[in-house]
Structure 1
Amino acid sequence: MARVRVGRVGEQIKKELSQIVQSELKDPRIGFLTVTSVEVTNDLSLARVFLSVLGTDEEKAATLKALSTGTGYIRSELGKRIRLRKVPELQFKFDASLDYGSHIDNLLNNLNPEGNTNV
């Protein structure tokens, strides 16, 4: 039963974080980002937020720094929107799965340059 609640809390945090980052944070360092997933610990004390950011490595680093700077504001907004006794600490990380998938796709295209899909 507890895992179901943790999953629901994670999904709610993901939804609210997406709205907060896209509409309320005005930091110019934050580029085009997507919250891909949120993993919450069983005791709801920590939420690992996985992000996908478009841009160069410098832009990604600047986005991560801006989010780290705005963590207090983001947590306070989450506290207003989600009814929890304690708002989890937020830990922002890059989601490398999209980059990895793109890399694999490029490798497969290089193996089959004619574009044949009959592999």
Structure 2
Amino acid sequence: MPHAFRRSRLEKQLAQRLSEIIIFEIDDIHLKDEIISITRVEVTKDFFKASVYFTLLNHNNKNRVIKALYRALPYTYSLLIKRIRIRKLPELKFFYDQTTDLERETSEHTFRMQKTRQAIEQTADLRAELTAAAGDFADPSIADVTHKHSAKPLLPDTDEESTAETSKKSPPFNPASNKDDL
């Protein structure tokens, strides 16, 4: 149990000190242009090796940055020995941390899925509004009722039933039938 605490404390110290050294101390042209962030450090149980995981703002240059970190490793060891009180520093191995890339891709994918879902919901809402607005014309039973009330003007002092009865009694004017009578 005490070793786990010591190991976690050493991991935190290494991460903090390496970040400071990479940002402020190492004078390498390949590292000056990059924004490097130490995401985590994992020390083995025997304290002989440490895996240093980092991320970059521009992940296209990761191989160039790894080479620059290994070129600066002797200088980095000399600075770490002065800043961390330990008998023997663990051997450092640098790895590009791909979990942040995966997290970024996952969040971008989730964002695209949410935008697609919102677009589908908006389309469904618009379709419902259009259907409701055009519903009077789309439903034949409603269209007939609307047609009856809007197409026939009501005469004063009469109702629809009496006008319908009078229209049934008198035949419509047909000019051809009048020619036969002459």
State the partner residue of 2:14. 13
SS of corresponding position for 1:26? coil
Q: What letter is aligned with 1:45?
A: F
| Backbone CA RMSD of aligned residues | 1.3
Q: 2:21 & 2:117 partners in 1: Cα distance?
A: 42
CA contact (8 A) 1:54 1:60 kept: no
- In the alignment, which residue of structure 2 is the partner of 1:35? 38
Contact 1:47 1:89 in 2 (8 A): yes
Give the drift of 1:75: 1.1
Distance 1:104 1:86, change over 3 A: same
Matched with 2:107 is 105
Counterparts in 2 of 1:56 and 1:17: CA distance versus 1, 3 Å: closer
1:78 and 2:80 matched: yes
Give how far 1:83 is off.
Answer: 1.2
Moved over 6 A (4+): none
1:77 aligned counterpart, secondary structure:
helix
Deviation at residue 115 of structure 1 after TM alignment: 7.7
2:91 to 75, 80, 89: 89
Cα 1:47–1:56 change in 2 (3 A) is: closer
Residue 55 (str. 1) matches residue 79 (str. 2): no
Q: Partner residue of 1:4?
A: 5
Identity of aligned residues (%): 31
2:15 maps to a residue whose letter is: K
Please identify which structure carries the higher helix content: 2
Partner of 2:68: 66
Could you tell me how far 1:15 is from its partner in structure 2?
0.7
- Greater strand share, 1 or 2? 1
Distance 1:115 1:26 in 2: 49
- The Cα offsets for residues 42-64 of structure 1, whole Å up to 9 and x where unpaired, read as 1111110000111142x211111
Match of 2:48 in 1: 45
Distance 2:75 2:91 in 1: 12
Deviations 1:78-117 (A, max 9, x none): 111111111111100011111111101111122222585x
Answer with 1 or 2: which has the greater Rg: 2
Cα–Cα, structure 1 residues 21 and 111, in superposed 2: closer, same or farther, change >3 Å? Answer: same
Give the whole-Å Cα distance in 1 for the aligned partners of 2:68 and 2:89. 20
